[in-house]
Amino acid sequence: MRFRTGVLAVSLASSLLAACASAPHADKAHIAKVALPAPCPADPSWDEPTAPRHIYANTWYVGTCAISAILITSDAGHILIDGVTDKAAPRIEANIRALGFEPEDVRYIVSSHEHLDHVGGIARLQRDTGASVVAREPAATALERGHSDRSDPQFLSVAKFPPVASVQRIGDGETLRVGPLVLTAHATPGHTAGGTSWTWSSCDGAVCRAMVYADSVTPFSDKIYRYSENAGMVAAFRNSLTTIAELPCDILLTPHPSASRLLERLDPASGIALADTNACRAYAATGTDKLDARLAKEQADRASNAPSHEKPAPSH
């Protein structure tokens, strides 16, 4: 199934209005039930469990200490972004129930990028919820195969994951709707070829926030891949960083919560503001600095005939 481009012309204003009606009436009751979670360890494993957290209005954190999973709710059904690992997927379902929602009411599951730590649990979550899985190419094909290909800079250093059945394709700028929810896909390749960022609006009464789930912006790779030998990927990466920087952005969320200090920002005791209209620009600038540093190192390594980089880093 291909989503029609005719649904793309949704103005930001209309999206905000739609989102204002999207939060379930019981949100305040759900929020009251959410206990303050215990702090996560300083260096948590991917599967380290943590209690769910309320982010804003109809948007909730249901992931682990190290890997994000975001639930966006409405009376018509919910959307889940990312599925963590297969081992941690039951924890996502438990977190959804702990908030007073039902996993079976998740209508769509979408992803940020095609790595085990973010999509490893999607096959299980698809089976358990009955939700449709939606992804942009080439992530959609990777999900169906259970692995990426050489278009992924980390191809040789990342593990396979359980394949996902019948992934629906969505294009750059196309929207996904569940009742009043409107979620927009933005092509942001670079960390992987299928990298995708997602935007929507969440409203608490008349106060609406532009929400951004921005994909990872770190140029990690395996021992073979060199960004400097893949001009098309570098150009796409830079375009992705521009895209993220220019998104309407009140509240930034990221696939690894540490990349945006999300769990700290959700802790009232931290004193760190949850909303920051400069957050996406700052996040993109960090990605630009990392990409420039990576390219400079590859150039220096070529000049000295040294290996381009050390052993592969984790797939953040």
Under the banding of pLDDT at 50, 70 and 90, the label for residue 9 is: very low
Average pLDDT of the chain, as a whole number: 90
Alpha-carbon distance of 129 to 257, in angstroms, equals 24
pLDDT of amino acid 257: 98
CB 88 within 8 A of CB 47: yes
| Cis ω for the linkage preceding 138 (within 30 of 0) | yes
pLDDT of amino acid 22: 41
pTM: 0.88
pLDDT of amino acid 32: 56
Which residues on neighbouring strands pair with residue 169, listed in sequence order? 2, 135
Which residues on neighbouring strands pair with residue 175, listed in sequence order? 184
Reduce the DSSP state of residue 114 to 3 states and report it.
Answer: coil
Domains of the chain: 48-301 (3.60.15.10)
Taking CB atoms within 8 Å and a gap of at least 24, the contacts of 295-300 are 295/227, 295/228, 295/234, 298/226, 298/227, 298/228, 299/228
Structure confidence by residue, pLDDT tens digits, 161-183: 999 999 999 999 999 999 999 99
Structure confidence by residue, pLDDT tens digits, 187-240: 999 999 999 999 999 999 999 999 999 999 999 999 999 999 999 999 999 999
Reduce the DSSP state of residue 110 to 3 states and report it.
Answer: strand
180: nearest Cα among 2, 23, 29, 11: 23
pLDDT of amino acid 37: 76
Element (H, E) at 78: strand 78-81
pLDDT of amino acid 8: 32
Alpha-carbon distance of 263 to 48, in angstroms, equals 14
50: nearest Cα among 35, 68, 36, 37: 37
pLDDT of amino acid 30: 63
- Taking residue 271's Cβ as centre, other Cβ atoms within 10 Å add up to 8
Count the residues in the chain.
316
CA atoms within 13 A of residue 124's CA, in its CB half-sphere:
19
Structure confidence by residue, pLDDT tens digits, 47-83: 999 999 999 999 999 999 999 999 999 999 999 999 9
For residue 19, report the phi and psi dihedrals to the nearest 5 degrees. Answer: -65, -30
Instruction: Please report, for residues 229, 230, 298, 300, the alpha-carbon distance to residue 304 in angstroms, rounded to integers and kept in the order given.
Output: 17, 20, 10, 6
E-state strands within 222-285: 251-253
Structure confidence by residue, pLDDT tens digits, 127-162: 999 999 999 999 999 999 999 999 999 999 999 999
How far is C-alpha 239 from the geometric centre of its chain's CA atoms? 18
Q: Return all residues near 118 (Cβ < 8 A) that are at least 6 apart.
A: 67, 82, 83, 84, 111, 112, 255
64: nearest Cα among 34, 84, 39: 84
Q: Return all residues near 143 (Cβ < 8 A) that are at least 6 apart.
A: 111, 114, 119, 122, 133, 135, 163, 164, 167
pLDDT of amino acid 21: 40
